[in-house]
Amino acid sequence: MAKVQNPVIGRSKGSAGGMTFSRNFGRNVMKAKVFEPSNPNTAAQQVQRSYFKTVSAQAAVFTPDQLRAMFPNKPKAMSRRNAVTRQLAEYWQMNGSEKEMKLANLMTIGNAKTMDMGTTGATVAGEFVNVALDGSVIANNLLADYYFVAVLVNDTQNLIYMDITNAKVSTGQLTIDLPQGWQTTDTIHAIPLITDSKVALTSYGTMAVANRPARP
């Protein structure tokens, strides 16, 4: 168990007795040193490590600029990549003795303000994925001039994808190239993200997500 250090300890680093001192996101942290776990490689630990490796691989698809856009509010005591990893890790199922991701249940991402976005459509047409905002969002005059993007989620393969394709909310539709390796028979859904930009986007470096779907 880790604890934030007492000011008396100050900025100590290293180990003393059974405690280890370190700095983490600007805080002094004190935790008990683990000398030797009784069983460092149980079956349950192997399953968890394998699952974390899978989740980390999916979190790695997001660029630093995409993460800054999706998490306009810097998470406390962790990086944005750790924050998205934690979000993705919540969606899992057991397949026999294996723990697997189940991204079909992922309906929102990031930490921008949430709102009811109704039902977002996502249909595969040849080599493209057509994303359509819910009519209630398109008709929202307060959002009409802002641009939106979408995170695509492949329910069949448990994969996630995001590019810079964008359009005005009033237009309400995006046509995104089918990601490499995704099949036309895969089940896909989209997570719409409304940005704070009223100018067509060419990168994620100068914008932030202002609204995302509420979690069901």
107 and 167: one domain?
yes
pTM of the model: 0.81
Q: What are the DSSP calls for 92-145, one per residue?
A: EEEETTEEEE-GGG----SSSEEE-----EEEEETTEEEEE--HHHHT-TTTTT
Between these two residues, 176 and 25, which has the higher pLDDT value?
176
85 and 157 part of one domain: yes
- Residue 15 tokens read as 């180990």
Please check whether residues 74 and 127 belong to one and the same domain: yes
User: Phi and psi of 104, rounded to 5°?
Assistant: -60, -25
pLDDT digits (tens, 9 = 90+) for 5-48: 555 555 555 555 566 667 666 666 666 665 555 667 788 888 78
pLDDT of 30? 66
12 and 111 inside one domain: no
pLDDT in tens, 191-212: 999 999 999 999 999 999 999 9
Q: 24 has which bridge partners?
A: 27
Residues 13 and 115 in one domain: no
Q: Are residues 109 and 16 part of one domain? A: no
Task: Identify whether residues 58 and 159 lie together within a single domain.
Answer: yes
- Residue 4 in tokens: 């934030």
Q: CA-based diameter of the chain, in Å?
A: 65
Of 21-25, 93-97, 171-175, highest mean pLDDT: 171-175
Q: Is residue 38 part of a domain?
A: no
39 in a structural domain: no
Do the domain assignments include residue 49? yes
Asked if residue 24 is part of any domain, the answer here is yes
Q: 18 with 94, same domain?
A: no
What integer best gives the mean pLDDT of the chain? 89
* One domain, residues 106 and 58: yes
Give the total number of structural domains in the chain. Answer: 2
Asked if residue 184 belongs to a domain, the reply is yes
Q: Which domain holds residue 27?
A: 2-32
**Is a pLDDT exceeding 60 seen at residue 57?**
yes
